[in-house]
Amino acid sequence: MSDELKLSTRQEGMLHYIYDSIEDESRPPTIREIGGALKISSTSVVNYNLNRLKDKGLLERDRTVSRGLRLTDLAYEFLGRAAATSDKATSAFAAQIQNLVRVPILGNIVAGEPIDITNDTFSTYDEDDTVELSSSMLPSRRDKLFALRVDGYSMIDDMITDGDIVILQQQEIAQDGDIIAAWVEGEGTTLKRFYSERELGVIRLQPRNPSMEPILVDPEDVKIQGKLVLTISQAS
């Protein structure tokens, strides 16, 4: 065996686990599944070793989906396994996911530090903390979509409740009535309906729960972070 194909025990274990997952479940494993199987708590360590397998020509990675791993012919040769069955399973899974859009979950809508939604955020998020959706469920413009978990009941009359996941389009402007995620000075990040009360010189962030009062705030103290495009209910 050449030096280039000398693997660590951990890397060889990953290769075997990926092969077994494809054979047994007809799909590649996620990063967290690999970590759990090999008792690796850090996803960055899993990522590092997957990248080394890729560098050695044993693995191909599609980072646009959470199970975007494919063993190469060299990997099957290294494992001493036939590629036919696994290739068929991988191709079938690829057909299922080709219309999926992967949206990063950036955090919870709670009081506290603002969620940092920048160009860098979308390249550095935990790639296993995502939600995958059919492209048919989303608007034609799909760049800069992000997801947040809802904490609380302020939007219950809009059928958005605690534990739901909301998909938003990153933008910094809104029209009256839009449901937005906004950073408010002294309040943190919140999900509300947006209204510009020009005659009063304030922004009104309106909850959709009759037991809660609207937030009236100076426009200088509000930063719109995104507009709602889809709610994923977590109700059982």
User: Which positions are annotated as active-site residues?
Assistant: 154, 192
Alpha-carbon distance 131 to 145, whole Å? Answer: 11
Contact 213, 123 (CB under 8 A): no
- 34 exposure class (CB count in 10 Å sphere: 0-12, 13-18, 19+): buried
Which of 106, 147, 173 has its CA nearest to residue 230? 147
Cα angle value 151/153/158 (rounded, 5°) = 115
